[in-house]
Amino acid sequence: MDEEIDLDVSVDRGLQKLIDTAGAGASVTSPGWLTQLGRLWGGKSDVPVADAKPDDIKDLLGGALFKALYKWMEETGPVYLLPTGPVSSFLVVSDPEAAKHVLRATDNPKRPIYVKGLVAEVSEFLFGDGFAITGGDNWRVRRRAVGPSLHRAYLAAMADRVFGPSAQHLATKLEGVAASGESIDMEACFSQLTLDVIGKAVFNYDFDALNTQSPLIQAVYTALKETEQRATDLLPLWKLPFLAPFVPRQRKALEAVELIRAETERLIAKCKEMVDAEEQAQFGDGYMNEADPSVLRFLIASREEVSSRQLRDDLLSMLVAGHETTGSVLTWTLYLLEQNPRAMAKARAEVDAVMGDRAAPSVEDFMALRYVMRCVNESMRLYPHPPVLLRRAQVADTLPGGYSVPVGQDVMISVYNIHRSPAVWDDPNDFRPERFPLDEPVPSEQTTDYRFIPFSGGPRKCVGDQFALMEAVVALAVLLKRFDFELVPDQDIGMTTGATIHTQNGLFMTVRERASGRSQGSSSNGASSLEPAVAAGAAA
């Protein structure tokens, strides 16, 4: 603000406040806000404008935003403007070709057209300069450092030592629920499970979220909720840091972040002491410490010149993103299977045939659980996580179809719309795992030409996609082998928008142990290599 006044720009402070909070990269010294005025109110646009009505407000304010976006796609077309203020808007994209154009040009050194924009703004308080939200050269350096930690041997070790045992821990909890005859919120269970998994996998830290409610666990959930709320705040008080001590929600969130960062820094310091005490490790491609195969141990053993603060921010990015995504994937996959008995029976038959007497799948079993994988893929098509991707144009651009994108325009790629568009998919609202043939590669943005983008695409594609898929398949296999699940009747599950798609009221189910489900064996040692089609994305 002061810099703009120094430039002798005379402007009403009220208008400047609107511009500053527009979220479209506008400023008095750029023509962005004038362009927005012309596009939104002057009829000077080659992009249609969504007709938002009062009934849509509840979906825009913390509800199921993607449902309103879908309605406007049906009314307006695959690319449209969504006004969010007098001088701000989102350019909503529901077309695979346009989405591919934007995603491939995000943080692309050869075509640096788009950046993360609003995503970085709402989550910087938690992630700092973590690779999940930073951009440019810093992101490229951090991505090259973190990506190699998710190598084949690491994924195999996680399947054998973390994914399987953690899922069996949940199964033990469900045994008690089955014996009592009571119902349980499986969405909460999966959130706890995936927090336990990501804690061990990234930090070698046991949250024990399935059994306890420690202050650290509550802090993680508080920080996640704040991130979600900031994305849809009509009055973004978080943009005024000096108010934080006086706003209860912000004060609580900042206290939570302080606790998370302090514990993360303690774990980093402890790991550094252990590595320094060892003889020089033979670090190289595929390095993994047998006693501690975590990402934290890998990054410290690499002896890269990086600050503890940067390391902390990178690891927090993985912790939050990894926990949130897979928990939602498991929630909606189990829901869809329960609603589709034939698919459930087919998935369970595959689990029984592949796993035999083993309590948890080995790596070889994981590779053979192709139908279970397609159930997860189809679930992520119907309930993508996240349902929208946000980008911001840092230079003017034109999308396929001739849609103009001015400098500073926020772009919202509706993954939900693309995944459910009748112009893209046959019977788009049906749960049909068979639409992804078992004898073809696991579907991705590449194999579907960006019709299927649950992990985004382009340079900023999710670095942990293979981790998430393996974790979800292993957990489902363990549970389907042991239990029958049935939705509690007459519950209003609903959907709401967050970083991922959540239920409104939980996913309450009754659980019964299968007569043939209890295994006499144990998980075999998952030491084999992964087939290229699955493992290749681990270091993307």
In a domain, 216, yes or no: yes
DSSP 8-state assignment for residue 405: E
In a domain, 85, yes or no: no
For residue 72, pLDDT beyond 90: yes
Within the chain, what is the greatest distance between any pair of CA atoms? Answer: 79
Q: Which residues, at least 6 apart from 80, have a Cβ–Cβ distance to it below 8 Å? A: 47, 48, 49, 50, 72, 73, 91, 92
**Percent of the residues in the chain that have a pLDDT greater than 90, as a whole number:** 54
Residues making up the annotated binding site are 462
Task: Check residue 280 and give its pLDDT.
Answer: 55
Cα-based distances in Å from 288 to 185, 285, 296, 301: 36, 9, 11, 9
Express each pLDDT in 143-166 by its tens digit: 888 888 888 899 999 999 999 999
pLDDT tier at 194, thresholds 50, 70, 90: very high
Q: Which of 76-85, 481-490, 527-536 has the highest mean pLDDT?
A: 481-490
Per the CB < 8 A criterion, the answer to whether 521 and 359 are in contact is: yes
Task: Check residue 497 and give its pLDDT.
Answer: 76
Express each pLDDT in 209-223 by its tens digit: 999 887 887 888 888
> Residue 347 carries which side chain, given as an amino acid letter?
A
Distance CA 488, CA 185 (A): 10
Give the pairing type, strands 410-414 and 183-185. unpaired
In a domain, 223, yes or no: yes
Task: Check residue 278 and give its pLDDT.
Answer: 63
More reliable by pLDDT, 539 or 227? 227
Per the CB < 8 A criterion, the answer to whether 93 and 99 are in contact is: yes
Query: Exposed (0-12), middle (13-18) or buried (19+): which is 188, by Cβ within 10 Å?
Result: middle
In a domain, 72, yes or no: no
> If we measure between CA atoms, which residue out of 23, 60, 79 comes closest to residue 413?
79
More reliable by pLDDT, 390 or 86? 390
Express each pLDDT in 448-473 by its tens digit: 999 999 999 999 999 999 999 999 99
Task: Check residue 171 and give its pLDDT.
Answer: 98
More reliable by pLDDT, 316 or 368? 368
In a domain, 477, yes or no: yes
Residues making up the annotated binding site for heme are 462
In a domain, 498, yes or no: yes
pLDDT tier at 401, thresholds 50, 70, 90: very high
CATH number where 331 lies: 1.10.630.10
Domains in the chain, number: 1
Distance CA 24, CA 280 (A): 49
For residue 111, pLDDT beyond 80: yes
Task: Check residue 452 and give its pLDDT.
Answer: 99
Express each pLDDT in 20-44 by its tens digit: 444 444 444 444 445 555 565 555 5
Q: Provide the 3-class DSSP secondary structure of residue 116.
A: coil
In SS3 terms, 261-308 reads as: HHHHHHHHHHHHHHHHHCCCCCCCCCCCCCCCCCHHHHHHHCCCCCCH
Task: Check residue 226 and give its pLDDT.
Answer: 87
Task: Check residue 9 and give its pLDDT.
Answer: 34
Q: Write out the residue range of the structural domain in which residue 340 sits.
A: 145-380+462-539
Least confident of 86-90, 125-129, 141-145, 193-197: 86-90
Give the pairing type, strands 410-414 and 88-93. parallel
Distance CA 91, CA 69 (A): 11
* Mean per-residue pLDDT of the chain: 84
**Percent of the residues in the chain that have a pLDDT greater than 70, as a whole number:** 82
In a domain, 194, yes or no: yes
In a domain, 526, yes or no: yes
Express each pLDDT in 278-302 by its tens digit: 655 555 565 677 778 888 888 888 7
pTM for the model stands at 0.86
- Token readout for 110 is 């050869």
DSSP bridge pairs for 485: 511
Alpha helices in 278-403 (DSSP H): 295-301, 308-339, 341-355, 363-368, 370-382
DSSP 8-state assignment for residue 200: I
Q: Which of 99-113, 257-271, 315-329 has the highest mean pLDDT?
A: 99-113
Task: Check residue 391 and give its pLDDT.
Answer: 96
